[in-house]
Amino acid sequence: MIKAGKFKYEKLHSKWFCVFINRKLWLGPDHLLVSEAVISHERYKRFSLNDIQVVFLKHSISYCIWNTVWGLLASLFGLIFLFSSGANSFAGALAGGFLIALLINIYHGPVCVLYLQTAVQVQKITAFTRRKKALRLMDHIKKLVEQEQGAVQKSVRPNLLNPDS
Amino acid sequence: MIGCPNCRAIQPDDAVNTDELSWCPVCDTEFRIDVFPALYLKPEHQAPGDSIINDGIHHGQAECFCHPGKRAVAPCSSCGRMLCSLCQVGVHGQSLCMSCLESGKEKKKISFLENRRTLYDNIALLLSLLPVLVIFPTLITAPVAIYVCLRYWRTPLSVIPRTRIRFVAAFLFSMGQIVIWFLFISERVNLL
């Protein structure tokens, strides 16, 4: 009987609601596991902590897109509410709802995407994560990888612009 | 070389491993890059492959199950067959032969080799919830959802921690639908 695989994964990052792909990040004994759940099945990708070369984070444009969408909808229904004959309470309620959505989006701040690079691939590990949360997660991953590989020392680090040096 | 995650422009050395957000001078994207020692490791020079020809085992030494005449180095942790260095596969500190590795993957006994699982609890829940929107298909989908719940209750759900709450919800919801259908049909029959 093969006894391997009895460890328990620790959750590093997840979202309670996703429209298409629910991507979660888990920590195993010596690896990170990215699980991507669609409706009927779940796919797994494992990354050994020893193989991770780079983790990078970049700002996503979706924050601006959602701000624009909520702002436009709030303005549109706000104008209908103001200029329609009689008090159009339905348009007013919709305008208020979209305005609240806009304010919530602004309050939560910019959105980031986190990627992980190994020698053979670049994998998106989180999508649509708020900046504060993404930075915290990045710090956590950095700590975990450095426990396995050690930290990069600036004195011995080759010049990244000239890899032959 | 580390490029900007957005435009791939090469970034200066001091923009990496800063623990803070930096700006790409070319595309103005805000990013953070953490680099680890694995990036600088040069590929190790590998030893030439082991030969499968007879390497002259001495009397009393174990020989490989798959390559007679070749010296065994370890037994398989699963089936106990003696394995030479070519046949032995190291998986998480265990020595396995290829057939055990293959069967372990197929029978889903080695969870860290699995890269896909079917979520039967999600299927059951969707079967019990979605058809409610159009009402009539629930006559068929509710029993199907109950079948899925009972048939796959003991099936391992996911590699990652996951409860069976969806199965319970799907079962209760489907049972509710069946009871409602039963009451509806019995009322119709009584009316006739």
For residues B77 and B95, the answer to whether their CB atoms sit within 8 Å is: yes
Strands A111-117 and A122-130: antiparallel
- In one letter, which amino acid is A153? Q
Angle between helices B165-191 and B120-129 (to 10 degrees): 30
Question: What residues are paired with A117 via a beta bridge?
Answer: A54, A122
pLDDT of residue B164: 92
Q: Which chain B residue is nearest to residue A142, measuring alpha carbons?
A: B34
Does B31 contact A57 at a Cβ distance shorter than 8 Å?
A: yes
Does B34 contact A56 at a Cβ distance shorter than 8 Å?
A: yes
For an interface test with B, which of A1, A2, A34 has the most B Cβ atoms less than 10 Å from its Cβ?
Answer: A2
Distance from C-alpha of B82 to C-alpha of A113, rounded to nearest angstrom = 48
* Residue of A13, A52, A16, A17 lying closest to A31 (CA atoms): A52
A145 touches B: beta carbon within 8 Å: yes
From chain B, the residues in CB contact with A121 under 8 A are none
pLDDT of residue A88: 75
Average pLDDT on A43-71 reads 91
Average pLDDT on A145-156 reads 76
What is the average pLDDT score of chain A? 83
For residues B107 and A37, the answer to whether their CB atoms sit within 8 Å is: no
A121 touches B: beta carbon within 8 Å: no
Q: pLDDT per position in chain B (192 positions), as tens?
A: 677 777 888 877 777 888 888 888 888 888 888 888 888 887 766 666 666 666 666 777 888 888 888 888 889 988 889 888 888 888 777 888 888 888 887 877 777 778 888 999 999 999 999 999 988 899 999 999 999 999 999 988 888 888 999 999 999 999 999 999 999 999 888 876
Residues of A21-52 as b/e, b for ≥16 C-beta within 10 angstroms? ebbbbbbbeebbbbbbbeeeebebbbbebebb
Query: Which fold is adopted by the domain A10-60+110-147?
Result: PH-domain like (2.30.29)
For an interface test with A, which of B6, B27, B33, B34 has the most A Cβ atoms less than 10 Å from its Cβ?
Answer: B34
ipTM for this prediction? 0.77
For residue B92, the distance in angstroms to the closest alpha carbon of chain A comes to 7
For residues B33 and B23, the answer to whether their CB atoms sit within 8 Å is: no
Confidence label for A144 from pLDDT (cuts 50, 70 and 90): very high
For residues A94 and A76, the answer to whether their CB atoms sit within 8 Å is: no
Q: What percent of chain A has pLDDT over 70?
A: 85
pLDDT of residue B58: 72
